[in-house]
Amino acid sequence: MPLRHDPGHAQVDFGEALAEIAGVERKIHFFAMDLPYSDACFVRAYPAETAEAFCDGHTAAFAFFGFLAQVADPASLPARDRPNFLAKYRVTTGAVAVSRR
């Protein structure tokens, strides 16, 4: 069964990797947003997986893509931060709905 992705839908997650920074190997956390319809992606590294990194990652990704995704799923946000994020954006479901500029 082929996968189908609608335009304007984003998939978001955090990952971890080892990176050399100033000659020292460190664990970094990276925010990744993918637009599966077009196969476009955005990745940014952070020192920790926090609500601030999650929000900054979205802001940077939307600026990079030049528009806002219609739906971005905050499921990757740490559980302890999810209620604050959802309240800040007045979200009552499992997705953040935003419109194109």
CATH of the domain at 38: 3.30.420.10
Task: Count up the domains in the chain and report the number.
Answer: 1
Q: How confident is the model at residue 12 (pLDDT cuts 50, 70, 90)?
A: confident
The CB density around residue 89, as the number of other CB atoms within 10 Å, is 13
Identify whether 3 is part of a domain: no
**Does 79 or 29 have the greater pLDDT score?**
29
The CB density around residue 79, as the number of other CB atoms within 10 Å, is 7
Query: Tens digit of pLDDT for each residue in 43-96?
Result: 999 999 888 898 899 889 888 888 766 655 555 555 665 555 555 544 333 334
Identify whether 100 is part of a domain: no
Identify whether 1 is part of a domain: no
Burial of 99 (0-12, 13-18, 19+ CB in 10 A): exposed
Q: Does the structure show a pLDDT above 80 at 6?
A: no
Range of the domain at 60: 9-95
